[in-house]
Amino acid sequence: MHTVVVGTSGTTAEDVIAVARGNARVELSAEALEALARAREVVEALAAKPEPVYGVSTGFGALATRHINHDLRAQLQRNIVRSHAAGMGPRVEREVVRALMFLRLKTVASGHTGVRPHVAQTMADVLNAGITPVVHEYGSLGCSGDLAPLSHCALALMGEGDAEGPDGAVRPAGELLAEHGIAPVELREKEGLALLNGTDGMLGMLVMALADLHTLYTSADITAALSLEALLGTEKVLAPELHAIRPHPGQGASAANMRAVLKGSELTGHHQDDAPRVQDAYSVRCAPQVAGAGRDTLAHAALVADRELASAVDNPVVLSDGRVESNGNFHGAPVAYVLDFLAIAAADLGSIAERRTDRLLDKHRSHGLPPFLADDAGVDSGLMIAQYTQAALVSEMKRLAVPASADSIPSSAMQEDHVSMGWSAARKLRTAIDNLTRIVAIELYAAARAVELRTGLAPAPASRAAIEALRAAGAQGPGPDRFLAPDLAAADAFVRSGALVGAVEPVTGPLA
């Protein structure tokens, strides 16, 4: 089994995905354990002093003015976890919770939180045991971190609340810990607060969204190329010299992908002879510009994610000179903004894909294809309602593109008077990515059928490879009307798994 070693200097996106999706084992480095011990010494020294220190010997948030006596401090740490574990709604996906737990461990291991090495080791043990706390959809405002989601995870460390075991069954967390020989944590000064104060949930969802969208953008370039081919469009608009004079990196990458897929096609460019067109419609001609802008948005979001992965997000923090200082680094604005940017770009990519699908199905604009790609139009409806489904998904994506980060709602008696709503931005982005996958799958299904209906001229070798793999995956080819949902589900699974890219790259070479 792959092992991820957590040190003091952050982590990588690859490690997050390995733990969240691949169940990689987690280990703390010797450097991290030493840093944890040093920071804990600082916290314990401050705890012994009569002067109040926020998070160590005071209440929290709007209650930070109260000095807490020594005999109540353990209760204070337990109480903050219990009271903040106030989430509601459906359960959050296992991979999201594992990413959240791992990223909180990443910050704890930095040595800036003051948490004991024992607590950090218990966090790693819970991940390695496959125990996943039950976290609910609602409860984070994306400021002071993802408080309620992280609190439910901390509650499980204490042996309280519910968690999912490695067998997928939800049971009391205390029972699961006992079965795996893990002793519940008894929290001390600052530790409860340190387990809750981070942007870990929204960051974990951002990291996974970036991985998913990278594959989807490549898949969308492939389906756009198939649609161009099916519509007898011209590949001249993909020429490198045209994209060099508008040097957006993403645009150039998308155009290069489409050129690679279309290499060797006998279908492109025939409209000049058979049905003169000065130029193709925007949805065909501008595919690299739209997908490329989304790719550049991905690059910016990845830069923000990398910075956040290298960060230690807590309040207060233990600095290397021994000071313990309050700060605002838990504010989720940097992550929230790019989550919203990605939802906007994804909505636009879905929108242009749907326009190409509609063009393939419209006999007045498809340049000789049968209406709705039907076998016997009138008797058969073909892919008419597949486009309806795609349109409904696009419409929902437009609603999901409304920014969450533009909103803010005050909390904690106006102490926390401006919040990021980054968790909400991440949750809606996950829905948008699911929808985009289905939209790309429907364009693929329609474009593949349309290419197959073009007889007499050979498609590009990469196109043939994509279509053959799609058919082998269970999405059937042209013919009389049949129960269509299973075919679309097969196309969805084909795109979602990355199999579309995997089918094309042996022909084209690696795509961007």
Tens-digit pLDDT profile for residues 198-231: 999 999 999 999 999 999 999 999 999 999 999 9
Give the pLDDT confidence score for residue 492 in this predicted structure. 98
Q: Can you tell me whether residue 162 is helix, strand or coil?
A: strand
Measured distance CA(233)–CA(370) in Å, rounded: 17
> pLDDT tens for residues 309-320?
999 999 889 999
Measured distance CA(435)–CA(299) in Å, rounded: 21
Place of tokens 């290069």: 256
Measured distance CA(459)–CA(165) in Å, rounded: 50
Measured distance CA(506)–CA(503) in Å, rounded: 7
Residue of 54, 138, 282, 445 marked catalytic: 54
Residue type, 104: R
Q: Is the pLDDT of residue 273 over 60?
A: no
Give the pLDDT confidence score for residue 473 in this predicted structure. 98
Q: Is the pLDDT of residue 62 over 70?
A: no
Place of tokens 């000095």: 67
Measured distance CA(103)–CA(330) in Å, rounded: 13
Cβ–Cβ contacts within 10 Å for residue 170, how many? 14
> 256 and 235 in contact (C-beta within 8 Å)?
no
Predicted TM-score of the model (pTM)? 0.96
Cβ–Cβ contacts within 10 Å for residue 268, how many? 21
> pLDDT tens for residues 160-182?
999 999 999 999 999 999 999 99
Q: Is the pLDDT of residue 68 over 90?
A: no
Give the pLDDT confidence score for residue 32 in this predicted structure. 98
Is the C-alpha dihedral spanning 492, 496, 498, 499 positive or negative?
negative
Angle separating helix axes 200-230 and 499-508, nearest 10 degrees? 60
Task: Tell me the residue ranges of DSSP E strands in 71-213.
Answer: 88-91, 132-133, 136-138, 162-164, 170-172
> 250 and 291 in contact (C-beta within 8 Å)?
yes
Mark whether 54 is an active-site residue. Answer: yes
> pLDDT tens for residues 460-494?
999 999 999 999 999 999 999 999 999 999 999 99
Task: Tell me the residue ranges of DSSP E strands in 49-173.
Answer: 88-91, 132-133, 136-138, 162-164, 170-172
**Going by C-beta distance under 8 Å and a sequence separation of 6 or more, which residues neighbour residue 102?**
4, 11, 15, 16, 19, 20, 26, 127, 204
In 3-state terms, the chain is what percent helix, strand and coil (to 5)?
55, 5, 35
Measured distance CA(85)–CA(70) in Å, rounded: 24
